Structure 1
Amino acid sequence: MTTKSLIHRTLIACALGLFVAGSTANAAGKPKIGIAMPTVEGDWYSAVLYGAETEAEKLGYEVVVLDAGGFGHPEKQVDQISNLIVQQVKAILTDPIDPATLDGAVRTAHQTGIPVIGLGTPVISANIEPDAAATSSQCQLGELMADGAKRLLPNGGTIAALAGPPGAYWATERYACFVKSIAGAKIDIVAERNSEEDPATALSIANDLLQRFPKVSLFYAADDTYGVGAGRAIQQAGRCGAVQVLMAGFGKAAEDTMRGGCAQFVVAQRTVLIGRTASDLADKLARGETPASRLVEVPFLSITPDHVGEVPLADIRQPADWKP
């Protein structure tokens, strides 16, 4: 037996033992739902967590939220999911840093009867059918961003890409489908950068790219963290409108950037609705019900400055005073 197999079997045994030993104690209090996030920083993560947490609480659950601290810590997310299994939660919601790394943890959850629900990104495990996911297709989002690029650059042009966190599944899939969809449109990508999700870092990178490529037409921003940074760099250079910004996500800072004329096209996920839907799926599975659909794809919104005031914000953004 390999060391890896031994560790995996030990984890299963411990989880099963603790599951049985603690069942009486849990029966006295509220049932728990666990949420394992790659990070709780940033508009998207706060909004999806708000939707999931408030819906789960409304359904009568105590919510346990664990934060891996960023996309550079997939092993920590695995450990946190294992921790939630030991806590005997009724279901686990997770936005996987890298779905492939969760294989062992998902198997353990299944063997202890705990469903694992994708929160924004499906959870894929080898030889195990996914329990459920509330998501929006990352590839479709990339394709819609490509449609936006074609609308903004009808005669062609150049793009500098702030492509997202290195190794993050959602960013890689989104960007790959964007690149594929602009092929043949006389649009050239002249620069591509990956970085952690931080507006200050995005601003610094965008400043550098503006200096290196002064004739760039458009910034692609993997989400609004990067889009806000790019918009601020363009604003500081006095070039809002001359250099355009295309981004995913519509947090408050992204809205302000668009209203200020420094962002021209946004593809927004209904992030709060994704979180609510994931908790609804978790509740049904925890109670032994079969959802009408195990994969619920929540539709996108394409936003331009012309109708920025018509956006249904309750589906997209948490209240201003809510903090994770």
Structure 2
Amino acid sequence: MRHTTPLLKFLSAAMLMAATLSSSLAHADAKNPVIAVAMKTQVQRRWAFDIAAMKREAAALGAKLIVQWANDNPVLQASQVENLLSQQPDALILVPVDSQAAGRIVNSAHQAGVPVVGYDIGVTTAKLDYFVMRNNALVGELQAKGALEKSPHGTFALMKGDPGNDVAQTISKQYDKVLVQDKDVKVVFDQFVRGWDPKLALSNAENVLSAQNDKIDGFVTSNDGMALGVAQALKARNLAGKVYLSGLDADPSSLQLIAQGVQTMSVWTDLNDHGTSAVKAAVALARKEKPAISTTDVNLGAGAVPTHLVNVYAVTQANLCKFITTGAPKGWVTADEVYGAGKSQCK
């Protein structure tokens, strides 16, 4: 007959207590998960609205967010994520500064047992657990087809985004599909713009206009920042409103240009859907559940990732008032800011 010593009884009781405590903590984490959020930059005003949407959804789901901003510095972002992981979060939402370098961040999170939800910008060198991004292919399609609608046999300049950015690459593919392969149009400029730099876009536009003796039908421009640079070149040559000009993000400055007829269109992304979907996915993964969000598979280079495509649509003069009054999130823009104080016809 075996006898249980007091020491063995103590150890058994301690192990049982530890197991019970561990189970209790795991349950608590599942109920109120901690979500680390590694953001790329605060420069564009949209990111504050993304975070606001995330915080609203996190509060609704009982989750806590810990947010860090990398200021477009990949080294800083890697350091910040290392710090975030040391706090043992239940999931990580990542907006990578560098799509390739971010693979190491994803691998580090996975080694720590933390699932990663990519946000807006993809990771090409490691497989994310989930991805939430705008429908960038549709962005490029809307911009390119808008140019064709204005000038079916036109001469166009394609002002693409940063070459190292998967968003710019996806939009570019649609330009190629819709315009470059169309034998009825002429593409006289087709280049990426490093850093989506408005000043470089301005310089490129001036060079294109000089080379074409101002005979250009459209600048298919990938975002609003570059569109502002192109608009400056068009205004200087008295071509404002005569040449197609596209953009992305529906920034207030570009909405003013659309109201004035200088910029033809911009593309808006549903930031509320973007932010809330990311948090829903992160919380589900933290709870070892499958995100209950519509998805498609997207392969960015490291394997197919379940991806939620956020809806986008064109903003033009025709629907500008509707966008200002009902489409844009609260605080984004007012009719007076777009049209001038007391000059708006929006109801």
How many angstroms apart in 1 are the aligned matches of 2:328 and 2:118? 18
Cα 1:271/1:211, change in 2 over 3 Å: farther
Cα distance, 1:261 vs structure 2: 0.5
Change (3 A) 1:76 1:176: farther
Label 1:266 to 1:133 Cα distance change in 2 as closer, same or farther (>3 A): same
Q: Give the superposition deviation at 1:43.
A: 4.0
CA–CA distance in structure 2, aligned partners of residues 311 and 58 of structure 1: 26
Give per-residue Cα distances to partners, 1:93-120, cap 9 Å, x unaligned: 1223443322232122123222211212
> Which of 274, 298, 302 is the equivalent residue of 2:314?
302
Distance in 1, matches of 2:56 and 2:204, equals 36
For 1:1-324, list aligned pairs within 5 A.
32-70=34-72, 73-123=73-123, 125-126=125-126, 128=127, 130-154=128-152, 156-182=153-179, 183-191=181-189, 192-213=191-212, 214-293=214-293, 294-311=306-323, 316-317=328-329, 319-320=331-332
Query: How far apart are 1:318 and its partner, in Å?
Result: 6.0
- Cα 1:270/1:113, change in 2 over 3 Å: same
- Structure 1: where are the runs of 5+ without partners? 1-19
Q: Which moved more, 1:160-169 or 1:206-215?
A: 206-215
* Rg larger for: 2
SS of residue in 2 equivalent to 1:302: strand
Contact 1:272 / 1:315 at 8 angstroms: preserved in 2? Answer: no
1:5-56, CA deviations, whole angstroms, 9 ceiling, x for partnerless residues? xxxxxxxxxxxxxxx9xx99x98xx854222222221244344333234433
1:206 & 1:63 partners in 2: Cα distance?
42
DSSP-derived class of the 1:148 partner: helix
Q: Which moved more, 1:203-212 or 1:254-263?
A: 203-212
Which letter maps to 1:270? Answer: D
- Counterpart in 1 of 2:300? none
Which sections of structure 2, spanning at least 5 residues, go unmatched? 1-21, 294-305, 334-347
SS at match of 1:176: helix
SS class of match (2:161): coil
Provide the C-alpha distance between the structure 2 equivalents of 1:308 and 1:46, rounded to a whole number of angstroms: 22
**Which AA in structure 2 matches 1:251?**
D
Q: Distance in 2 between matches of 1:171 and 1:317?
A: 25
Q: 1:170-211 CA deviation, whole Å, 9 max, x = no partner?
A: 112211221222211522222225132454554444344433
Q: Is the 8 A contact 1:98 1:169 kept in 2?
A: no
Residue 88 of structure 1 deviates from its aligned partner by 2.0
Q: Relative CO higher for 1 or 2, CA cutoff 8 Å, sep ≥ 6?
A: 1
What SS class does the counterpart of residue 219 from structure 2 fall into? strand
Distance of aligned partners of 1:66 and 1:139 in 2 relative to their CA distance in 1, 3 Å threshold: same
Could you tell which deviates more after superposition, 56-65 or 236-245? 56-65
Tell me the TM-score normalized by structure 2.
0.73
Q: CA RMSD in A?
A: 3.0
Total equivalences in the alignment = 292
Q: Distance in 2 between matches of 1:312 and 1:114?
A: 39
For the 8 Å contact 1:32–1:91, the answer to whether it is kept is yes
CA distance in 2, matches of 1:49, 1:231: 30
